[in-house]
Amino acid sequence: MIYLDHNATTPCDARVFEAMRPYLCEQYGNPSSTHQFGRAARRAIDRAREQVAALVNARPEQIIFTGGGTEANHLALCGALQGQPPARVSISTIEHASVRGAMECLASQGWQADSIPVDEQCRVMAGRMELHPGTRLVSVMWANNETGAVQAIPAIAKRTRRHGALFHTDATQAAGKLALDFAASGAHLMTLSAHKLYGPKGVGALVAERASLLKPMLRGGGQEKGLRAGTENVAGIVGFGAAAEWARLELNQRATQWRALRDRLEEGLRALGITAFAAGAERLPNTAQFSVPQFAGETLLEKLDQSGFTLSSGSACSSGRIAPSHVLTAMGMAREQMRNVLRVSLGLDNSEADITAFLGALAQLTGSQRVWQAQNVA
């Protein structure tokens, strides 16, 4: 099997797993306990907080550990606005389901949701961003999970601050793939998730300029400055810390490897007459999303799966049918162009041979074998 779906999740790095192991079996203290076992667990969390903060140039006290990116997005939107009289919130039209879900929660409490559009290259235009009077919070993701398009976060944050609103960015897909600087970004709040950067699933963080911006969603314990009640997932947090450290140390090398493979992939796709979506935008180095119009059926993903290639379309699949992607719809794409959409998201385990094999399989399935061979001979 060739795994090409790293934006969905990554394997846990063996070095990360080794760092976690003692905190599952030997150092199992509760970090709230004052005895030696508890103190050891507390120290491990403190170290992980430093490691995660270093990845995004934040201060350790700005990191609030959560049960993943979804929870961090809820804490950002609902936690920041809780207790305020309902007004308006703006989110971009390409946000992840977890931001949209948090927005729905707020809407049910009377908040008005406004949409920030993107252009045909999946970009929010900061200069043209219209914010209504009464907008209290704006949320725009750092990089899109489907197309990989990267947003001009500092400009968008600046525009939001001028308006007097809070700015949140979901950096779940950007962290570990791009150099992120929370301090310089202008964001008040930023979401991270461990399992997109070779850490474990079920652990993430909200980075907050200051804790006073937030009210807890979960109550009944003083953990994480009272902002996230519940005994900490010590091993998971340690794993997040280790994954963040490796991501920081190896960032340039990883990005260079991904970019070279992605360029090779897109060169091969062009030979098949296929252009990646949002190719005119800055994109994550590991991501290419495209449609394969030559394929007549609806089962290209399934056929690739049978041939040993694990990837996704990037859009939600409900009751066996691929729903039209809200991201591609927001880019103004016609329904016809959204047929047979594939998203390749590369990881550390991918090689040039994987790309060659994938392109070969695609060419065979789409009946373009002759074109592919001719290109390769040439």
Ligand X SMILES: Cc1ncc(COP(=O)(O)O)c(C=O)c1O
Chain residue at closest Cβ approach to ligand X:
69
Q: Cα(80)–Cα(267) distance, rounded to whole angstroms?
A: 45
Strands (DSSP E) found in the chain = 2-3, 63-66, 88-92, 112-116, 135-139, 166-170, 189-193, 204-208, 287-291, 309-310, 317-318, 321-322, 341-345
* 170 touches ligand X (CB under 6 A): yes
96, 123, 136, 159: which one contacts ligand X (CB under 6 A)? 96
Residue 296, both tokens: 């007549």
Residue 114 Cα to chain centre, angstroms: 22
Place of tokens 């009077």: 133
- Is the distance from CB of 269 to CB of 290 less than 8 angstroms? yes
Catalytic residue list contains 122? no
Residues near 224 by beta carbon (within 8 Å), at least 6 away in sequence: 64, 65, 66, 232
Q: Cα(67)–Cα(231) distance, rounded to whole angstroms?
A: 11
Nearest-approach distance from CB 65 to ligand X, in angstroms: 12
Chain residues 305-364 in contact with ligand X, contact rule CB under 6 A: none
* 145 touches ligand X (CB under 6 A): yes
* 193 touches ligand X (CB under 6 A): yes
In the bound state with ligand X, the residue whose beta carbon lies nearer, of 68 and 216, is 68
75, 89, 141, 205: which one contacts ligand X (CB under 6 A)? 141
In the bound state with ligand X, the residue whose beta carbon lies nearer, of 200 and 216, is 200
Nearest-approach distance from CB 133 to ligand X, in angstroms: 29
Q: Cα(105)–Cα(46) distance, rounded to whole angstroms?
A: 32
In the bound state with ligand X, the residue whose beta carbon lies nearer, of 204 and 241, is 204
* 98 touches ligand X (CB under 6 A): yes
Cβ density class 278-297: b for 16+ within 10 Å, e for less = beebebbbbbbbbbbebbee
Residue 189, both tokens: 């709040």
CB under 6 A: which stretch of 14-22, 151-159, 166-174, 361-369 binds ligand X? 166-174
Nearest-approach distance from CB 26 to ligand X, in angstroms: 27
Nearest-approach distance from CB 362 to ligand X, in angstroms: 24
DSSP class of 167? E
In the bound state with ligand X, the residue whose beta carbon lies nearer, of 204 and 216, is 204
31, 204, 239, 347: which one contacts ligand X (CB under 6 A)? 204
- The interface mask with ligand X, positions 56-75, x = CB under 6 A, is ------------xxx--x--
Catalytic residue numbers, as ranges: 317
Query: Using CB under 6 A as the criterion, which residues of the chain lie in contact with ligand X when the complex forms?
Result: 68-70, 73, 96, 98, 141, 145, 170, 172-173, 193, 195, 204
